[in-house]
Structure 1
Amino acid sequence: MRQRSGYGGAVRDFSLPPVVEPMRTGGLADSVHELAERDPGFAQLARSEDPAGGEWATVTAAAFRDEVRALAKGLLADGIRFDDRVAVMARTRYEWTLFSYALWTIGAQVVPVYPTSSAEQVRWILADAQVVAIVVEHEEHAMTVGSVCDAAPSLRRIWQLDNGCVRELAELGRGVTDDLVDRHRLAVTPRSVAAVTYTSGTTGRPKGCVITHANLAAECDILLAGWPGLVAAQGEQPSILAFLPLSHIYGLMVQVFCIRNGILLGHQPEIAPSLLLPALASFRPTFVFAVPYVFEKIYRRARQVALEAGKGDVFDRAMDVAVRYAEAVERHNAGAGPGPGPMLRASHAVFDRTVYRKLRAVLGGRVRYAVSGGSTLRRELGLIFAGAGITVYDGYGLTETTAAVTGQPMGRVKFGTVGRPMPGHSVHIARDGEIWVHGDVVFAGYLNDPEATARVLRDGWFATGDVGHLDDEGYLVITGRKKDIIVTSGGKSVAPQILEDRVRAHPLVSQCLVVGDDRPYVAALITLDPEALEHWFRLREREPLSPREVLRDEELHAEVQRAVSKANNAVSRAESIRAFRILPAEFSMRDGLVTPSLKMRRAAITKMYEAEIEALYAS
């Protein structure tokens, strides 16, 4: 461990020694073939036509290897060559994994495309990456691609999953020999490009991040070596349900993590709670990779059920005990306290039987540890889940760092932080507070954009664009994005994330966007959770209101004002939210207002709601 303080006595550098050897030879597809040789009957994947229905059929390592090989042959027969770029535009499903490993088997590069992408976004990616073929899920995707083909002269093939393209390609490749496939696979090296993954683009045009086989291997190998024993209990086969978009680097990493480490992998195409929660209950994973949105929804759903059963007070007392219990454990693990006292342990044991067990059951009942990424998990929510028996290891990363570059150390979680650098990696805090990172997970650069690459890669260090600080033990706290810092007309600098996270802690609030650049004071746009809102009216024996009526409801406005006032307690008056506007609908991917990892696109939101923002300052 290396730690160095800088100007002002603050910790500016922190690094940890490596725990795994970097990938020396071969590529990601080798693990498919090696496992099939070593243990052909091993249950590698699970498939279901209806994940919420509870029927899962396993796919053995040998069967998956054979499917990958057959599809690889078909790709070669249809003209795909080493280093060709092939896009995949589909939801999280079995065929996504199948195609990516078939492409990696023949040395081709995967170009993920979000299934919700607009025609303009698809046009840009296909042209910028010079994609030669694309896999789409259904007719609507095919029509989107067809409408922009004129801008992608390199595009030669469109394969449609729901039209049986996997079967057709396998049939086409029957004449291709195993030897030809193996020659392609053995030509892949760790430095070969595995994926060109486009940033989700909270502002500006997406950039193609060049991710190598070594990048993805390092990410997955470090996670497993640094956090042994968390993925499953002793003697239990580890299993993970992939529900994050495989088009996002986080979801892509989860897929590789499972295949590379012999973890049973299932797929759930939708992240909407009404579909995801039944799928989790039926699949019963041993470990979960998720984003804060999922943990928020699970908690809110559990509280809503308790309120409807007339047990809201019991639930809230249980959550209070969970927080106090987890805080006592946190202090004990840090060597700063004795741990939970006898009375607290007794209360915790009672609630574990009556309340926490039900919360764990939402995730299938077997999960004891999870990972959260994409954005920082609220400290209070992390404490709630830990006290209820599910420790969430929060991490931090970007597309350019192949997902996580920091994570909570095993058994030493500091809730509200994103942990310390992963083993073998370093974090540096620049003079302006920007976070720089270094290590094997850092990408090779931006495709076709050497100027943008030079701006962020400096002697192997990646300048993330995020700002934060390190505590004296090397734990990283994210305070926002450099470009998101608000400077009021009075010259006050405001980091919006602190306020936004605290407002969102209220059960009614879905999203909060703080504004105020070059304005006299800070204000906010707030959206409400539809399910929570319906429940709120029901508890008050009131008829639900239309979206427009909601905006004028005085009782509801007062409830949201309480959330804003509570958030303002965390900042000075000059930084506090002085005015807010409740909006009629949530920001969504469909409207282009959030990224697939559910981060708000600030520029797009402020442009769409320009009139509402002006009204906040009209008086």
Structure 2
Amino acid sequence: MLQTSLEVEVLFANARELVDYIGEKYRGNKALGMPVSEDDLDEYIWYTYDDVRRYAKAVAYYLTEVLKLRKGDKVALISENRAEWGLCALGVVYNGFVLVPIDARMSANEIRMILEHSESKVVFISSGQEKAILDEFDLRDVVEHVIYVDKAESEKGMSLERIVEKYGDKEIKKVNEVDPEDLFEIVYTSGTTGLSKGVMLTHRNIMFEVSVTPPLANLSEKDRLLSILPLNHTYESTAGLYAVLSSGCSILYSPTLSPRVVIDLISRNKITKMLVVPLFLEKITDAIIRNIEKSGVVLKSFLKMLLGMASVSKSLTGSNAISKRLLSLIRHKSGLSSIDLFVSGAAPLPARVSNFMELLGFNIIQGYGLTEASPVVSLNPINKPKNISIGKSLPGVEIRINEPNEDGVGEIWVKGPNVMRGYYKNPEATAEVLVDGYLRTGDLGYMDDEGYVYITGRIKNVIVTHGGKNVYPEEIEEKLNVSPYVLESLVVGRKIDEKDMSGEEIFAYIVPDFGYIEFEKETPIHKIDFKEIEKMIDNVVRELNSKLQEYKRIKGYKVLTEEFPKTSTRKIKRYLFQKNDTL
């Protein structure tokens, strides 16, 4: 099955055109900001749109005229989320240099490997990140120049502020021609497989996404966004930074992921839109439900009555307009009442979460993407979302369900201006995923008659049972996670007999929601016998198995006491659990 959208106009040929456009059009407007510290949410540092252009041009001047870099040279960026991240990034790509954004949470050894593999000549880094890797290696042994993104500087390095002070009014003499097919960035995937590859994205790739995504989220100059996702990931940098700036919005960076600080920043700054991962919305949902349960008997009964009325209204009308009015009290008390849109991506959004948040009157649209597609591939339309799906393809992007089975399920293939050039220095891996102009995503899914796409799982994750049946672990995980006693779960295939290679049985790793158990028992968690907790999980598994077909039933499980290791976008690192041991 095939879904093709109409061709669209790409507004900018390259990053320079984007920076010059926003610097002029939104001159004086607030662009990028952050609190002075997480302990002081009353005072902020703000950069205006003309600051964005001035900083970008100063960085480009310094790299070109002072450091004498050549077009195509690689420049790395290692920093926690902060307003200066975007200033540095846009400065690097302004005159044709290639950005290498690196996950600040990576180990020192991983960072060094990326710097060496990418052949980065310069690195922008925060002083805090440099201290974190200093015990392992000196950056100057790997790159030629170090520039600090914060005000800290040393005898060995230069700072962003000093570059702007010295070269902010200079004009670049050697202006490189930047073609749409020139590299914009090389993004090293953190991935769930454990293998990191350098994804080559062009100016055309990024500017296409910048052109098509803002209208789909109804972005305007009036919008204020709070950024909480890692900027080294394309979801946040492309959709949450470059695309947002093209619409004249203000972006505020949270200094921490503390729920208290995040909610406080949303409330104080009247944030209107957020890009989030499902885990963020799950925690909000669970917190609201717990607060309702903790209410007095009369108030709890009243709130539950309102929830019931809202649910009936939504099912009858298909709209959340009435439920939004009925549940305005709950929404206001959540501290999120100013938000008119959540965009969820990077992982599947559980139906229970989207249903509950929509019932409260929040607009939520789920999208789908991958780094190799710059990253957004599809998005639910605001006026008609089906959030159990990943929505419809972006304008100008083609989605194909390749070789569907009798249920219509096949591998999702993508073609369009957003598809990467390939993997850096890895033609073999490139040839495996780029076929006849299509990007093989590795995801399995199907498409309905209206063009909405649904993901059933990953090809590499599919469990083949002894009877030859295919089981999608994501389906079972979602059902397990519905239980309030389960924080998260991971389902894998386990060999019945190591000598028999014909099939696997279903095995689950389950992390209890200790916070909920503590709340329900009204007892500190350390005073609750772990065997009692295991019994709760056993009941959850038994109840789920009674509702599953025989070949999908969980044959074994292990209760874990700590959350699963995750990537920077909160995806579980499945490869750590897919061997045939049970840890």
TM-score by length of 2: 0.88
Q: Does 1:263 align with 2:263?
A: no
How many residues in Structure 1 have an aligned counterpart in Structure 2? 563
Native 8 Å contact 1:435 1:465 kept in 2: yes
Paired position in structure 1 for 2:501:
none
- Amino acid in structure 2 at the alignment position of 1:514: V
Moved more, 494-503 or 423-432: 423-432
- Amino acid in structure 2 at the alignment position of 1:379: A
Q: Give the direction of change, closer, same or farther, for the CA distance of 1:24–1:282 in structure 2 (3 Å limit).
A: closer
Native 8 Å contact 1:74 1:169 kept in 2: no
Q: CA deviation at 1:163?
A: 5.7
Query: Could you report, residue by residue, the CA deviation over 1:376-430 in whole angstroms, capped at 9, with x for unpaired residues?
Result: 2122221221221112110111000112101112311112111111111111111
1:66 aligns with one of 48, 54, 61: 54
Paired position in structure 1 for 2:212:
222
Paired position in structure 2 for 1:157:
145
Q: CA deviation at 1:169?
A: 4.8
Q: Give the direction of change, closer, same or farther, for the CA distance of 1:319–1:231 in structure 2 (3 Å limit).
A: farther
Q: CA deviation at 1:371?
A: 0.8
1:382 aligns with one of 354, 374, 377: 354
CA distance in 2, matches of 1:524, 1:518: 13
Q: Residue 526 of structure 1: SS of its match in structure 2?
A: strand
Moved more, 44-53 or 378-387: 44-53
Q: Does 1:48 align with 2:55?
A: no
- Structure (1 or 2) with the greater strand fraction: 2
Q: CA deviation at 1:316?
A: 4.8
Q: Does 1:104 align with 2:93?
A: yes
Native 8 Å contact 1:47 1:266 kept in 2: yes
CA distance in 2, matches of 1:280, 1:351: 22
Q: CA deviation at 1:540?
A: 2.2
CA distance in 2, matches of 1:287, 1:182: 40
Q: Give the direction of change, closer, same or farther, for the CA distance of 1:376–1:169 in structure 2 (3 Å limit).
A: closer
Q: CA deviation at 1:183?
A: 4.5
- Amino acid in structure 2 at the alignment position of 1:61: Y
Query: Could you report, residue by residue, the CA deviation over 1:530-569 in whole angstroms, capped at 9, with x for unpaired residues?
Result: xxx23532442323217xx76x332x33433454355446
Paired position in structure 2 for 1:168:
159
1:238 aligns with one of 219, 223, 241: 223
- Amino acid in structure 2 at the alignment position of 1:553: K
Q: CA deviation at 1:242?
A: 1.4
Paired position in structure 2 for 1:28:
15
1:94 aligns with one of 80, 83, 89: 83
Q: Does 1:354 align with 2:329?
A: yes
Q: Give the direction of change, closer, same or farther, for the CA distance of 1:601–1:318 in structure 2 (3 Å limit).
A: farther
CA distance in 2, matches of 1:58, 1:504: 40
Moved more, 242-251 or 431-440: 431-440
Paired position in structure 1 for 2:444:
467
Q: Give the direction of change, closer, same or farther, for the CA distance of 1:170–1:59 in structure 2 (3 Å limit).
A: closer
CA distance in 2, matches of 1:175, 1:57: 21
Q: Does 1:416 align with 2:388?
A: yes
Q: Which runs of 5+ in 1 are unaligned?
A: 1-11, 331-338, 588-592, 613-619
Q: Give the direction of change, closer, same or farther, for the CA distance of 1:440–1:558 in structure 2 (3 Å limit).
A: same
Q: Give the direction of change, closer, same or farther, for the CA distance of 1:263–1:167 in structure 2 (3 Å limit).
A: farther
Native 8 Å contact 1:244 1:271 kept in 2: no
Match runs of 1:514-593 below 5 Å: 514-519=491-496, 521-529=505-513, 533-545=514-526, 552-554=530-532, 556-565=533-542, 567-568=544-545, 571-587=548-564, 593=565
Q: Give the direction of change, closer, same or farther, for the CA distance of 1:447–1:66 in structure 2 (3 Å limit).
A: same
CA distance in 2, matches of 1:220, 1:401: 13
Paired position in structure 2 for 1:208:
198
CA distance in 2, matches of 1:302, 1:395: 24
- Amino acid in structure 1 at the alignment position of 2:256: E
CA distance in 2, matches of 1:145, 1:585: 29
Q: Does 1:599 align with 2:571?
A: yes
- Structure (1 or 2) with the greater helix fraction: 1
Native 8 Å contact 1:303 1:315 kept in 2: no
- Amino acid in structure 1 at the alignment position of 2:205: N
Q: CA deviation at 1:350?
A: 6.5
Q: Give the direction of change, closer, same or farther, for the CA distance of 1:456–1:327 in structure 2 (3 Å limit).
A: farther
Match runs of 1:440-479 below 5 Å: 440-479=417-456
Native 8 Å contact 1:319 1:384 kept in 2: no
Q: Give the direction of change, closer, same or farther, for the CA distance of 1:140–1:61 in structure 2 (3 Å limit).
A: closer
Q: Give the direction of change, closer, same or farther, for the CA distance of 1:109–1:594 in structure 2 (3 Å limit).
A: same
CA distance in 1, matches of 2:539, 2:451: 35
CA distance in 2, matches of 1:180, 1:435: 47
Q: CA deviation at 1:21?
A: 0.6
Q: Residue 211 of structure 2: SS of its match in structure 1?
A: helix
Query: Could you report, residue by residue, the CA deviation over 1:169-215 in whole angstroms, capped at 9, with x for unpaired residues?
Result: 5535766596652753x622222211111112211421111111221
Paired position in structure 2 for 1:302:
288
Q: Residue 245 of structure 1: SS of its match in structure 2?
A: coil
Paired position in structure 2 for 1:7:
none
CA distance in 2, matches of 1:303, 1:578: 31
Q: Which runs of 5+ in 2 are unaligned?
A: 405-409, 497-503
Paired position in structure 1 for 2:235:
250
CA distance in 2, matches of 1:302, 1:429: 38
2:374 aligns with one of 393, 396, 402: 402
Q: Does 1:197 align with 2:187?
A: yes
CA distance in 1, matches of 2:547, 2:447: 20
Identical-residue share of aligned pairs (%): 26
Q: CA deviation at 1:450?
A: 1.0
CA distance in 2, matches of 1:500, 1:320: 27
CA distance in 1, matches of 2:477, 2:457: 11
Q: Give the direction of change, closer, same or farther, for the CA distance of 1:319–1:376 in structure 2 (3 Å limit).
A: farther
CA distance in 1, matches of 2:104, 2:137: 15
CA distance in 2, matches of 1:128, 1:103: 19
Native 8 Å contact 1:209 1:445 kept in 2: yes
Q: Does 1:485 align with 2:462?
A: yes
Q: CA deviation at 1:327?
A: 4.2
- Amino acid in structure 2 at the alignment position of 1:294: F
Q: Residue 436 of structure 1: SS of its match in structure 2?
A: strand
Q: CA deviation at 1:321?
A: 4.5
Paired position in structure 2 for 1:334:
none
Q: Does 1:288 align with 2:274?
A: yes
CA distance in 2, matches of 1:321, 1:304: 19
CA distance in 1, matches of 2:68, 2:174: 16
Q: Does 1:138 align with 2:127?
A: yes
- Amino acid in structure 1 at the alignment position of 2:549: S
CA distance in 1, matches of 2:477, 2:519: 27
Moved more, 292-301 or 140-149: 140-149
CA distance in 1, matches of 2:373, 2:276: 17
- Amino acid in structure 2 at the alignment position of 1:299: T
CA distance in 2, matches of 1:383, 1:137: 40
CA distance in 2, matches of 1:114, 1:438: 27
CA distance in 2, matches of 1:495, 1:543: 36
